[in-house]
Structure 1
């Protein structure tokens, strides 16, 4: 099923990575002939980015809003594209989700921020919360750790797209979006299924000959299922590659992306309870944190 992208929302916090995030939004909007919204959320209690302390928040709101409009205009620069700035006050996750719903957005673009350990345990991140609250896919660009040297620019357009396939409802929707992207950019499409050894403990108890046959049968079955996901007519405009890997899904997907010089990873996301999310995280969260390239998360909801 072809997924249309008619409205794109690009979220910026005016960090040093903001220009690349906005550039991605501009290029995608041009490619899909989409409406572009560029949003910034003013969080009044934490306004160091605006260069001054806040004594009377209400008095300074207009100044902050005007500053944000000017910064967005500077980020767009001379690009010949129609865009609409969206500037509001509040909590970033809540406001970005609200704006995406109100404007019937098809794709949100943001970037990760370096955070690990206890800080992530207690606070999570805006990106990880957005993956669970947005009504549309989230395209996450890899940001930089504070104090780190700049990384090489992330690639556009996406010529090699990897989609993690576990045959669930969320993975099926992720595949739809990856197929649409592959069609738009005439990309290589890599369908990868990861088998976790813990799910096949009995396999390792079989005699060598029986075990090898079982593994080959399993590979053939999964490869057939992966191939069956792709409409036959799509094979005329994409280069399709399938792969069965063994290990932890997030480790194997990231490793595969690094080895094969992938430009975009597309993964589905399913809901998690608070305790599970804090203590364990999900495959999608971990792929986003460790990926060498952009990641699109897609919810089945």
Structure 2
């Protein structure tokens, strides 16, 4: 299994960003990975300064840049005291664009970012840096919601047997190498209540439910076998009920400190970012969340251009 070698953590110098830095530093030490610290200086304040005519735009930009660079240098020196070498950089532009650009150019295996406080879910799905980074980027994103108290101990990975959920399981096993991993599948029979209300026999509904359950058992067993071959133990959990409620209950009962979930394709993402289940999980749990994006689609090679007959 490939190891995490490069971690990018973003900061706006807020307390929530401080939690993200501490988690990223812990992961970097655990994985012996390179750590990159990034602050993106937005262009909006610079335009506001220009309107006020307090100082010229180049002077204001340089002053704000130096302030951010000094603050990042202080963070890097603090980490160096813990024997965690870190490279830092101040970018200027739109945050999500610069974050994804930096992650791409430095081949980051993981981006770490703090949550957005009490209104995180509302802000996340209305266009915050986190949502835009997820929407436009392809790198796994770890959203920290709690103060790190050591390596992750208990990880929950909801799976629906799609490739995106299996990718999330792969990434979770890399991020939390020392944790116990619970693979959860919530069995929910589509239109179960409506089928009962239309007068269908209870036995027929039960038969339909059992068929779905058997397929889920086969899928879970295959996951357990595949990971056992790589000497990774995962614990299967199958429950009947709405996925968001099941995830919330299992996160509480299993003392989960990290939930890993796969982001769906572009159409579903644009419809509701990456699903109503994820929104409920973000809102209703205090766990850190690891969101894994599908790989970028490979572009078909362009056909060769025909020769110009007039040359």
Other structure's SS at 2:104 match = helix
Deviation at 1:224, TM superposition (A): 2.4
The equivalent of 2:301 in structure 1 is none
Structure of larger gyration radius: 2
The equivalent of 1:69 in structure 2 is 69
The equivalent of 2:187 in structure 1 is 195
TM-score, with normalisation over the residues of structure 2? 0.79
Preserved CA contact (<8 Å) 2:100 2:133: yes
In the aligned structure 2, how far is the partner of 1:102 from the partner of 1:45? 25
Gap change, CA 1:293 and 1:225, over 3 Å in 2 = same
Deviation at 1:42, TM superposition (A): 0.6
Mark the runs of 5 or more structure 1 residues left unpaired by the alignment: 48-52, 143-151
Preserved CA contact (<8 Å) 1:159 1:188: yes
Deviation at 1:252, TM superposition (A): 3.0
Q: CA RMSD in A?
A: 2.9
Is residue 2:158 matched to residue 1:159? no
The equivalent of 2:143 in structure 1 is 140
Other structure's SS at 1:240 match = strand
Gap change, CA 1:255 and 1:74, over 3 Å in 2 = farther
In the aligned structure 2, how far is the partner of 1:295 from the partner of 1:166? 17
Q: Aligned ranges for residues 8-19 of structure 1 at < 5 Å?
A: 8-19=7-18
In the aligned structure 1, how far is the partner of 2:173 from the partner of 2:155? 9
Q: Aligned ranges for residues 27-42 of structure 1 at < 5 Å?
A: 27-42=26-41
- Alpha-carbon deviations, 1:122-162, whole Å to 9, x = none? x42111121122221000012xxxxxxxxx63443111111
Preserved CA contact (<8 Å) 1:8 1:108: yes
The equivalent of 2:233 in structure 1 is 238
In the aligned structure 2, how far is the partner of 1:117 from the partner of 1:293? 13
Structure 1 segments of 4+ aligned residues over 4 angstroms from their partners: 116-121, 199-203, 234-237
In the aligned structure 1, how far is the partner of 2:227 from the partner of 2:96? 40
My pick for the range that moved more, 252-261 or 197-206, is 197-206
Preserved CA contact (<8 Å) 1:5 1:34: yes
Is residue 2:299 matched to residue 1:296? no
In the aligned structure 1, how far is the partner of 2:167 from the partner of 2:124? 28
Gap change, CA 1:18 and 1:275, over 3 Å in 2 = closer
Deviation at 1:245, TM superposition (A): 3.5
Of 112, 115, 126, which aligns to 1:112? 115
In the aligned structure 2, how far is the partner of 1:224 from the partner of 1:15? 46
Mark the runs of 5 or more structure 2 residues left unpaired by the alignment: 47-51, 296-311
In the aligned structure 2, how far is the partner of 1:139 from the partner of 1:118? 18
In the aligned structure 2, how far is the partner of 1:224 from the partner of 1:155? 36
The equivalent of 1:179 in structure 2 is 173
In the aligned structure 2, how far is the partner of 1:117 from the partner of 1:179? 26
In the aligned structure 1, how far is the partner of 2:108 from the partner of 2:142? 13
In the aligned structure 1, how far is the partner of 2:227 from the partner of 2:100? 36
Q: Aligned ranges for residues 198-209 of structure 1 at < 5 Å?
A: 198-200=190-192, 204=196, 206-209=200-203
TM-score, with normalisation over the residues of structure 1? 0.81
Gap change, CA 1:269 and 1:214, over 3 Å in 2 = same
Is residue 2:81 matched to residue 1:83? no
Q: How many aligned positions are there?
A: 281
